[in-house]
Structure formats: structure tokens, C-alpha cells
A and B are shown apart, each in its own frame.
Chain A
Amino acid sequence: MSSYEKINYSLRPAKHIERKMMAEVFRHLPSFGDIASYRYIGFGSIYFSDFYLFHKILGINDMVSIEKDEHNEKRFLFNRPFKCIDVKFGSSLEVLPKMTWEQRSIIWLDYDGTISKDVLADVEYLSSSVAMGSIIIVTLNAQPERVEKDDPVDRAVDLLKTKVGDNNVPTDITGHSLRKWGTALAYRRIIHNKVMEAIANKNGGRTHSNKINYKQLFHFNYKDGAQMLTVGGIIYDEGQKQLFNVDFLKDKFDFLMTEDTPYEIHVPNLTYREIRHLDSLLPGDLSDTDINIPLEDLSSYKTIYRYFPVFAESEH
């Protein structure tokens, strides 16, 4: 069963925050031309939340949703929020190679599950096919593997090697390092290495100014039930390096992460009344509210309040 049958995507607050943060960054990438001229490719499922946001906020009107549930075609087509969304049925592994890549694209592969050889194949394919200025993002379930007490120490590493192939797992990763959020860190590294490998292969035949580069923009960790990882960045060529200034973006957005340190999205547990009250104090100092909200939650809320979902209350 796909996870859409169990979760109502549009109520996942951390995901909502992540989406809004990414939209903000996309809006501020003027260097590669008008963002509205980009194509957006994602896994919309039946809720199409990302499509909804990116069309409304960024004006992107060339949109493709890839859907692997081919049996419920009518339902997916019915639920498209806008006419400009094309739904292609099949797995990303099948669909992506059939598409054309001249147009700059934002591709967000928000997988249901964990890392796999197919995920790496998609990453490799995209890294070596997209137009310069394109952005590739991957979201994965990064819950650590369950390991029993009497399993050998590195059983989790063996499981990881089975999932992605021996040569894709750096040799310093141990069962110990995969505990808790270590699995997310390992996945990020594996994906990053695959991108670098793919573009190095492509660069073999290229002169210096045509050499392809990748700069990471996003590295999110959050919990939505399961531990989740999002990693993504922009593909550009050496000749256009000056057009693309990450430092300017880093000053503006503290959640832009270009290295192996993740940005953790904490969603504090607050009531609607508390949210409205805190909003009325922001931007500003929240430390002297005397409602007994834990300081940690206050601090989390202050960091992300602008991206927090807006809830509508109903009478009950």
C-alpha cells in the first residue's frame, strides 16, 4: 500500500514548513532567469500539495506529477488542483528517462520509502541529464533499520549495502554510526556522492568552462512519524558560476545548508490559541510569555513561524 492511503499529506506540518522554505529559496534565484519559466516535476499523489504551492507562489505553469499507482488513474486526474499539471503514470525509474531535459527544472523526488538502488539510479540519471540551473531534491524515510540485540555489530551496514550496493557505502560507516539520525546523515552522503560521481563521469568529455558542478542548498531533518531526510541542490556549469551566489542566499536564509550539517525542523506542539498569541508578539522576543510553554518550543516556533501552516478552526 502506498503511504498516501494512511497519511493525509496536507496535515504534515514539518513537511509544510519544508515546502515553504524551499519555495522561498526558489523565489530568490533570479540568476538563472525567471523562476516561473522553470518546469516542476514531483510526486503529487492525490493531494498535490507541492504543486499547489509552487504554482500559486512561484507561478510555475509547466508541471508534471509522476504517479506509480496506475490502477487509480481517474482519481489522480480528478484531484489535480490546476489545469497545468500533467500526470505521468509509472515509476520514476521508468518515466524520467522518457522525458526531455532542455528546459530548466525543479525536480523533487519525494519517495514513500527508504533509500534503494532505484533511488540512486534516478539521482544518477537526473544529475547527468538536467539543464544547467536545474534543482534536484530527494526526500527519503531515514528511519534507522531495526537491529536486534544479538545481531552482529554491523548488521545495519550490511542491510544498507544490500539496499544500495557495496560500492556506494563509504567504508567508515559502522552499525554504531547509523543509529538515530546517523542513518539520515549516511543517506545524504550516499546521495551526494552519487551526484558527484554522475557529474564527474559527464565532465570527462568537457572543457573547463563547461564543467558541471553541484551545490547543495537543502539538507533537512524532521520527524513526521518517521525520521525524514531531504537533500537537494542546484546543478550549474563552471562558466555560470558568478551568476549563482550562494553566500547571498545563506545570509538571507539560515536554513540553507550547503555541507553535511542538517537543518532540523522542530514543530512545537501548540494550540491554535497559543499560536495566535505568539504570532502577535512576533517578530520579537518570546521569552516573557508566562503561559508555561517550554522554552525549547518557543524558540522553535520563533525560528519557523513564518512558514508555519495556517490552520482553519471549525466549530465542534
Chain B
Amino acid sequence: MTFMKKLYRILNNKTIIGNLILLGIALLYLFQTTKLPSVDQLDETFFSASTLPILLSLSAIFFVLLQLFLSFRKNEDLRLTGRELQWRPLFFLGLLMIGYAALFETLGFILASISFLFFAFRILGGKKLFLNFIIAGGLVFFMWLLLSRAFNLHLEAGDLYRWLSGG
């Protein structure tokens, strides 16, 4: 089998890719474990802050390598079957969630949440913009009433509101 074919098989194998990700995480974890600060008194203690992390990382690396070994040995056809999935909604929803987290403190709970829901409805195919707005606004208002009035929870008002109100 040519190198390119082998590489293609690897990149299309869910098990291999997943295990490579886990291997990366385990190696990073082990690396960070070696950098754990030592406390003087802990030098006299058998069980320190790094004892369990070392055990976990080495065990995780062992199991992941075992799986990789078995996956490379067996010619499993576990292709990444992404064709039946739509990646566009995920991309835009992901961006929307990032935007929501980034602007939450600026816009405040109400404005950020209404915007999030409105655009999310649109991304998933809600074409009636007015309906989207009414549903988003109604739900957020209901949540605001429930959380801030009924449960007495403080919800972020937002820098924008504070700026506009001169606070």
C-alpha cells in the first residue's frame, strides 16, 4: 500500500483520529504534570500533588497506544461519514455561541440572549423574522422574569445598559 493510501486510511478512521486526539491530551497532561510546583513539605510526603496525575497520564497513554496499535493492525473501515451531516449550521451556530459569550457582558443578559435566539432561529431555517423576534423576545423576557423576580437572581445588565443609563 502506498504511503498516500495509508495516510488516507488513517485520516478516514474514526478510531485512529479519536485516539490520536486522546494521545495528544494525555501527553500534554503528562508534560504539565512534570511542571507542577513542588511544595517543600510535600517532598517528605509519599503521595503528592503529582502522584495521581502521573499514574493517570501513563495509564491513559498506555491504553491509547494499545488502541492505536490494534487499529493500525486491523484494517477497519471506519470512515468518517460526514457526508450526511450539514456542517454549515454547526459553523454558524458555533460562531454565534462564541459571539454570545464574547458580548454577554457588554450587551447584558436580555439583549445578548434575544440576539442569540433570533440569529439561531434564522440559521436553522426560521425565515419569518418577525416571528423569530417575537419568540426570542418572549422567551427571554419570561426567563428574565422567572430568574430575577421569582428566584431573585442577579442577571448581567451589561456595559451598554450601564453606559446608556449613565451608571
Same assembly: no
Point out residues on A near B: beta carbons under 8 Å. none
Point out residues on B near A: beta carbons under 8 Å. none
